[in-house]
């Protein structure tokens, strides 16, 4: 069943051609930003808090309380991301069928409940089951926010917006450290363990934010009560002029085929895996590593806070630079250089060099920023609703695969140095630089070919579909070019 774009029926073609809908775009963007970006930021911030809560719970005694041993803790992280990967397909189907904001809000509510329930677990099996359920729910976050951002902003405008809500990751690291520090003090005087208190608090906040997503976040620009009819029409006009937006909300099997047959998809997936392995390792194991340098659990929580600062600064600087015309691929390569340096410091310095090892952990956190740029690439370079949903879901599966691999590099037998895991960080960062550069070359070749033939830039599969007359969404726009 087809759902036509609500704007298309409201715009007079003559007005569109004459540009009579033009207005103060900066004022319009500020209005949109204030209404939707804070809520998007909160959802990404909370899912980050949910992920790192298990990291902080580890130094707060969860393993002893639940009778865990060996690689049990690593399997908590692995099980979460196995579920995360599996859920991308059904979550993508829900995003295709129902309003993005409603699907996101329902999932946020569910994962808030699951976090609260986690505080009552009595053994490893119980916490493992709840982490699996949490992974199923949180799989929606990246595809939904990527798709939702594309509904409102042009491709140039969207990148700093991706960066803004993605900064929820860095803020989550900071706030998570403070929550852990406070909860560890509370646990000394209460029979209810500090990590249990932490799970209840985080879960309750998730439930409150889910209400904002469900009842405040507009389903689409056309249903935004804070916009006038002229402003809604202007949004549609601007997205069409930029070949942005999501197009008609129509499910097409041919678009899914194009996504799976596109080299772009798999290069983005590979890049996501390579840059997320270090990010996943640091997210899950940074507190353990810092504690291994000779600090206690309270100090470990506080010393993790600068990691969040590095994440925020690297994300905002890179996305702002791109909004000013800087190349995306080059920004990723530059961000991966300090990540590579940090990996080397972690791998090759003795743990007695506390300052150098801490600096290594902090530098590795620059690896989180390229993922925001990959989300921006996905929103900009996949065409139409079905392709954007499918592309975002597949790339999110790559994210989860990397987080499955990362924790498994940390084996109990390698403690406390974890040398194999640290060497892995060095190797994957070097490989990521090559893949990012390869994407730039591929996009450049496609754009050059499109310039020569006066056709839209596209993959070989898209070209074959067009030759068969299966031209869809923005596929027939001859001015479309990939951004890189």
Q: How confident is the model at residue 384 (pLDDT cuts 50, 70, 90)?
A: confident
User: Are 379 and 388 within 8 A, CB to CB?
Assistant: yes
pLDDT digits (tens, 9 = 90+) for 111-130: 899 989 988 888 888 888 99
pLDDT digits (tens, 9 = 90+) for 206-250: 999 999 999 999 988 888 888 888 888 888 888 877 665 555 556
Q: How many CB atoms lie within 10 A of CB 157?
A: 18
Indicate if the alpha-carbon torsion angle 56, 304, 161, 382 is positive or negative: negative
Indicate if the alpha-carbon torsion angle 245, 482, 37, 203 is positive or negative: positive
- Average pLDDT in the 46-51 region? 83
pLDDT digits (tens, 9 = 90+) for 69-86: 777 777 887 888 888 888
Residue-range domain boundaries for the chain: 13-467
| Beta bridge pairs of residue 3 | 249
- Average pLDDT in the 59-69 region? 78
Q: Above pLDDT 70, what percent of the chain?
A: 82
At the second CATH level, the architecture of 13-467 is: Up-down Bundle (1.20)
List own/partner pairs for 4-9 with CB under 8 A and 24 or more apart. 4/248, 5/222, 5/236, 5/247, 5/248, 5/249, 6/220, 6/222, 6/223, 7/221, 7/222, 7/232, 7/233, 7/235, 7/236, 8/236, 8/248
Pull the structure tokens for residue 449: 């070919």
Per-residue pLDDT at 193 exceeds 80: no
Highest mean pLDDT among 117-121, 466-470, 472-476: 117-121
Per-residue pLDDT at 455 exceeds 70: yes
Closest CA to 472 of 382, 395, 375, 394: 382
Q: What average pLDDT is seen over the chain?
A: 79
User: Are 237 and 11 within 8 A, CB to CB?
Assistant: yes
d(CA 50, CA 119): 13
pTM, rounded to two decimals: 0.78
| Helices and strands per DSSP (H, E), number in the chain | 21, 0
d(CA 411, CA 72): 10
pLDDT value for 7: 42
User: Are 288 and 59 within 8 A, CB to CB?
Assistant: yes
């Amino acid at each position: 069943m087809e759902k036509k774009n609500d704007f298309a029926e409201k715009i007079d073609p003559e007005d569109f051609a004459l540009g009579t809908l033009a207005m103060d775009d900066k004022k319009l963007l500020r209005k949109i930003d204030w209404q939707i970006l804070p809520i998007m930021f909160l959802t990404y911030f909370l899912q980050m808090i949910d992920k790192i809560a298990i990291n902080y719970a580890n130094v707060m005694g969860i393993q002893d309380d639940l009778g865990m041993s060996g690689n049990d803790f690593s399997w908590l992280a692995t099980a979460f991301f196995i579920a995360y990967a599996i859920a991308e397909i059904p979550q993508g189907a829900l995003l295709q069928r129902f309003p993005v904001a409603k699907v996101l809000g329902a999932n946020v509510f569910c994962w808030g409940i699951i976090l609260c329930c986690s505080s009552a677990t009595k053994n490893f099996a119980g916490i493992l089951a709840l982490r699996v359920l949490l992974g199923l729910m949180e799989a929606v976050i990246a595809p939904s926010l990527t798709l939702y951002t594309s509904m409102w902003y042009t491709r140039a405008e969207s990148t700093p917006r991706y960066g803004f809500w993605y900064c929820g990751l860095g803020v989550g690291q900071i706030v998570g450290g403070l929550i852990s520090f406070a909860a560890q003090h509370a646990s000394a005087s209460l029979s209810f363990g500090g990590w249990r208190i932490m799970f209840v608090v985080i879960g309750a906040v998730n439930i409150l934010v889910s209400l904002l997503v469900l009842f405040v976040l507009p389903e689409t620009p056309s249903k935004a009560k804070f916009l006038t009819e002229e402003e809604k029409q202007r949004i549609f006009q601007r997205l069409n002029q930029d070949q942005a937006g999501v197009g008609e909300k129509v499910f097409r099997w041919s678009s899914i085929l194009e996504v799976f047959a596109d080299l772009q998809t798999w290069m983005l997936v590979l890049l996501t895996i390579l840059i997320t392995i270090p990010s996943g390792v640091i997210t899950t194991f940074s507190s353990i590593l810092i504690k291994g340098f000779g600090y206690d659990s309270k100090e470990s929580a506080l010393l993790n806070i600068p990691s969040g600062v590095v994440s925020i600064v690297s994300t905002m600087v890179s996305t702002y630079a791109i909004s000013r015309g800087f190349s995306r691929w080059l920004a990723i390569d530059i961000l991966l250089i300090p990540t590579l340096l940090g990996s080397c410091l972690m791998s090759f310095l003795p743990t007695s060099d506390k300052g150098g090892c801490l600096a290594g952990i902090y530098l590795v956190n620059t690896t989180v920023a390229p993922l925001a740029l990959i989300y921006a690439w996905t929103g900009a370079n996949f065409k139409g609703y079905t392709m954007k949903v499918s592309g975002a879901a597949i790339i999110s599966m790559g994210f989860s695969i990397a987080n499955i691999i990362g924790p498994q590099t940390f084996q109990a037998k390698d403690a406390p140095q974890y040398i194999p895991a640290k060497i892995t960080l060095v190797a994957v960062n070097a490989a990521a630089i090559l893949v990012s550069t390869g994407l730039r070359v591929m996009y450049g070749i496609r754009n050059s070919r499109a310039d020569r033939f006066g056709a839209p830039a596209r993959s070989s599969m898209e070209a074959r579909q067009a030759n068969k007359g299966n031209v869809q969404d923005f596929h027939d726009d001859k001015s479309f070019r990939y951004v890189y």
